[in-house]
Amino acid sequence: MNERIESSDKIIRNHIIWSMGAGLIPVPIADFFAVSAIQLDMVRQMCKLYDLDFKETEGKAVISSMTSSGLARLGAQAAIKIIPGIGTVVGGMTMAVLSGASTYALGEVFKKHFETGGTFLDFDIDRLTKMYKEKFEKGKKVAEEIKKEQEEKQEVIEKVENSKIHIKEQKDVISHLTELGKLKDKGILSDEEFKAMKKKLIEGF
C-alpha cells in the first residue's frame, strides 16, 4: 500500500468516526446536515491529497447524486428520533452506524476514482453510484467494528483517567499498559495518544 492510499484511508476513517458522532446528535435533521458537512469536508481533504481542485458546489452535487439512497435511510432514522425518549436512543444508535456506512462508501468511491486518475469533470454517476451502494453494505460492518473499537478505546482511557484512584500495585500499571499497547497495535490509538496515556498512567502510579 502506497503512502497516498494510507493517507486516504486515514482521512476516510477519521471522517467515519466524526460522522458516527454526528449521527448521535439527539435533534432530528441537525445530525443529517452535520453528516453532510463532514462528508463534504472529507472530499475536500481527499482532493487536496490528490492535488485536485475542489469546488464546493460541484462537490455537493456529486455527493448528493451518489448518496441519495443512503441519505433516504438516514432521513428515515432521523424521523425515528421524533418519538419521545426511546426514539432518541434507538434512532441515534442506528443513525450513527448508517452515517458511518455512508461516509465509508463515499470515501471509497472517491479514493478509487482519484487513484485511477479521475477528477470531478469525468464522474460517471451511474457507475459510481452502483459502487457506492455496494460499499454502503460493507460500510455498515466497518462502522460497527469502528464503534466497538471506539467503545474499547474509551473504556481503557477511562481506566487510565481513574488510575490514581484504582492503581495500587505495579502489576496494575503493567496490565493497563498492555491494554494500551494492544489498542496501539490495532491502530485504534495513535502514537501520540499512546504516549500521552502511558505518561498519565505512570504519573498516576
The answer to whether position 124 is within a domain reads: yes
The answer to whether position 88 is within a domain reads: yes
0.85 exceeded by pTM = no
The answer, yes or no, to whether residue 104 has pLDDT greater than 90, is yes
Cα(first)–Cα(last) distance of the chain, in Å? 40
| Residue 16 CA to its chain's centroid (Å) | 2
Domain extent at residue 82: 3-144
Same domain for 12 and 97, yes or no, is yes
The answer to whether position 157 is within a domain reads: no
The answer to whether position 152 is within a domain reads: no
CA–CA separation, 187 and 205 (whole Å): 26
Long-range CB contacts for residues 59-67, cutoff 8 Å, separation at least 24: 59/120, 62/120, 62/123, 62/125, 63/36, 63/39, 63/106, 65/125, 65/129, 66/106, 66/109, 66/125, 66/128, 66/129, 66/132, 67/39, 67/102, 67/105, 67/106, 67/132
Residues 6+ apart with CB under 8 A from 67: 39, 102, 105, 106, 132
- pLDDT value at position 81? 45
Q: What domain count does the chain have?
A: 2
The answer, yes or no, to whether residue 173 has pLDDT greater than 70, is no
The answer to whether position 191 is within a domain reads: yes
Same domain for 127 and 173, yes or no, is no
Same domain for 56 and 20, yes or no, is yes
Same domain for 95 and 190, yes or no, is no
Same domain for 66 and 138, yes or no, is yes
Mean pLDDT over 106-128 rounds to: 90
b/e string for 41-60 if b means 16 or more Cβ within 10 A?
ebbebbbebbebeeeeeebe
CA–CA separation, 57 and 52 (whole Å): 15
- Which three cell numbers, joined as nine digits, stand for 131? 459502487
Same domain for 174 and 74, yes or no, is no
For the segment 37-60, what is each residue's pLDDT rounded down to a tens digit? 899 999 999 999 999 998 888 888
Does 87 or 63 have the greater pLDDT score?
63
